[in-house]
Amino acid sequence: MTNTTESPILDPISIELLNALETADPSIAESMAAEAQRQQYTLELIASENHVSPAVMHTMGSWLTNKYAEGYPGKRYYGGCEHHDTIENIARDRAKELFGCTYANVQPHSGANANVAAFMALCKPGDTILSLPISSGGHLSHGLKPNFSGTFYNIESYELDSETETLDYDHIAARALETKPHMIICGYSAYSRTIDFKRFREIADSVGAYLMADIAHIAGLVAGGQHPSPFPHAHIVTTTTHKTLRGPRGGLIMTNDEEVAKLVDRKVFPGSQGGPLMHIIAAKAVAFGEALQPTFKTYAQKIVENATALADALVEQGYRLCSGGTDNHLMLVDLRPRDENLTGADAEDWLGTAGIVVNKNGIPNDPRKPMVTSGLRLGTAALTTRGLTAEDMRTVALMIDRVLVSGGDAQVCQRVNQEVRELCERYPLYGH
C-alpha cells in the first residue's frame, strides 16, 4: 500500500474513503491509492482531462447514486424523486445561466451520448450531415464510419485549409452548397483556433441546415469568457462537462429553441437513455456553481496564457504547431521538424516514462497510422488547475524536448522524471 492516506495530495474525505476501503476491498484501495500517487507526481497534459474539486468529486460518490429517476423534474416514472427534482432543476438553471441560453438537458451520460440525442432530435437516419473528419481534428461521434453517426447518417466532410491548417469558411460554404446537409457540425477535439460560430450559422442558413456546435473541449473557456459563445448562433449545443469545464464526467445539451428543446428531451429519455445518473447530475450542478464564480474567469484566462506560453516555448525548441499556434487550451505539435523519425507513439511512451502524460495525435494529412502518428496533442487545463504558471510552462517544454531529443534514453527520462516530481511537489493536487 502506498502512503497516500498520510499525504496531503488527497482531501480528508478521500483519505477516509481509502482507509475504509483498505478493510472493505484492499485490491481496489491499493489501485486507487496508486492512481492518486500517479496523478500527484505526473504532469497531466492530456487536453481533455482535468482535476475536479473535492466538492465535485464527493458529490459524485454519494448516496444519490441509489435512485432511479427516469423522466424529468415533476414528471418521473418513480416515486421518491422530490429531492432529485430540486437538484436537476438547479443543474439546469445553472447551466442556462453559465452559457446564456434558455434550455438545458443535463442528463446525457457523456458527450458522445449527448451527440446521439442531438442527432436523433434534429435528423432522420440517412440525412446528410456535414462535419470535419476525426483525422483533421473532429470527433468520432461527428461521423466516423464505425460510430453510430457514420452508421446511420450520410456523412459529408469539410477539410481544413491545407496551408494554414485552419477552418476555411469559403470552402465550408461551398461544401454546404454541394452537399445540401440537413445539419452542419462545428466544434472539435484537436483544433487550436477560435471558431467563428456566426459565420457557421450564416453558412447553415444559406442551405437551410441546422447548426450543431459541440463545445466539449472549449466549454470552460466559453463559460470563462475566453472563447466566443456558440449562442445565439447554434441551433443546438452539446458538450462534455469534464474537460476545461472541470466538472464530473458527463454530457449536456443546450438550445434557445423551445421546439428543439422538446425534441431533445424526448431523444435523451426515452430515446437513447434510461435512468439519469443523479449523483453525476448533482456534481454537474456543483461544477456549474463553481464555474459561475468570478475565480473561474481567472482560471480560464490562465489556461489560455499557459497554452500560449507552452506553445511559444515548443516553437523555440524547433517544433511546428499545426496552424502555427493556439488561441485556446490546446495545441497540436508536429514532431517531424525537430526530428523526422519522431513518432507520436514513441513520444507518448518516452514522455510517460518521464512522468509527462500526453496523447499521440494525428496531424492534418498525417502520413502515419492513427496508432503511430506524427504528432502530440497537449493541453493546459489540468496543469492550470494545479496552479502551474506560464513560467512553469517553459520548464515543461524544455523537459519535453530533452526527453524527445534523447530518443527516450533511460537516464534522461529518469532525470526528467525526478525534476517532474519536484515540480509536482510544489503544486500538490489538493494544496492549491
Which C-beta is closer to ligand DSN: that of 14 or that of 39? 39
Which C-beta is closer to ligand DSN: that of 267 or that of 329? 329
> Which of 394, 400, 404 is CA-nearest to residue 336?
404
Which C-beta is closer to ligand DSN: that of 111 or that of 248? 111
Name the catalytic one among 22, 49, 70, 202.
70
Q: In the complex, what is the shortest distance from the CB of residue 190 to ligand DSN, in angstroms, rounded to a whole number?
A: 7
Is 343 an annotated catalytic residue? no
Q: In the complex, what is the shortest distance from the CB of residue 111 to ligand DSN, in angstroms, rounded to a whole number?
A: 6
Which C-beta is closer to ligand DSN: that of 9 or that of 321? 321
Name the catalytic one among 240, 308, 343, 380.
240
Q: In the complex, what is the shortest distance from the CB of residue 197 to ligand DSN, in angstroms, rounded to a whole number?
A: 20
CB-closest chain residue to ligand DSN: 48
Is 258 an annotated catalytic residue? no
Which C-beta is closer to ligand DSN: that of 73 or that of 352? 352
From the list 14, 115, 136, 189, which residue makes contact with ligand DSN (rule: CB under 6 A)?
Answer: 189
Is 385 an annotated catalytic residue? no
> Which of 105, 108, 172 is CA-nearest to residue 138?
172
Q: In the complex, what is the shortest distance from the CB of residue 189 to ligand DSN, in angstroms, rounded to a whole number?
A: 4
Name the catalytic one among 94, 243, 267, 284.
243
Is 103 an annotated catalytic residue? no
- Rounded Cα distance between 44 and 35, Å, is 13
- 112's CB contacts (< 8 A; 6+ apart) are 139, 140, 141, 251
Site for ligand DSN in 36-65 (CB under 6 A): 48
Q: In the complex, what is the shortest distance from the CB of residue 49 to ligand DSN, in angstroms, rounded to a whole number?
A: 8
Is 394 an annotated catalytic residue? no
- 197's CB contacts (< 8 A; 6+ apart) are 186, 211, 213, 228, 229, 230, 233, 234
Which C-beta is closer to ligand DSN: that of 173 or that of 223? 223
Binding to ligand DSN by CB under 6 A, coded x per residue (else -) over 249-268, reads: --------------------
| 241 is a contact residue toward ligand DSN (CB under 6 A) | no
Is 409 an annotated catalytic residue? no
Which C-beta is closer to ligand DSN: that of 47 or that of 260? 47
Site for ligand DSN in 139-178 (CB under 6 A): 139
How many residues form the binding site for ligand DSN (CB under 6 A)? 4
Q: In the complex, what is the shortest distance from the CB of residue 192 to ligand DSN, in angstroms, rounded to a whole number?
A: 13
Site for ligand DSN in 101-130 (CB under 6 A): 111
Residues engaged in binding ligand DSN (CB under 6 A): 48, 111, 139, 189
Residues designated as active site: 68, 70, 214, 240, 243, 249
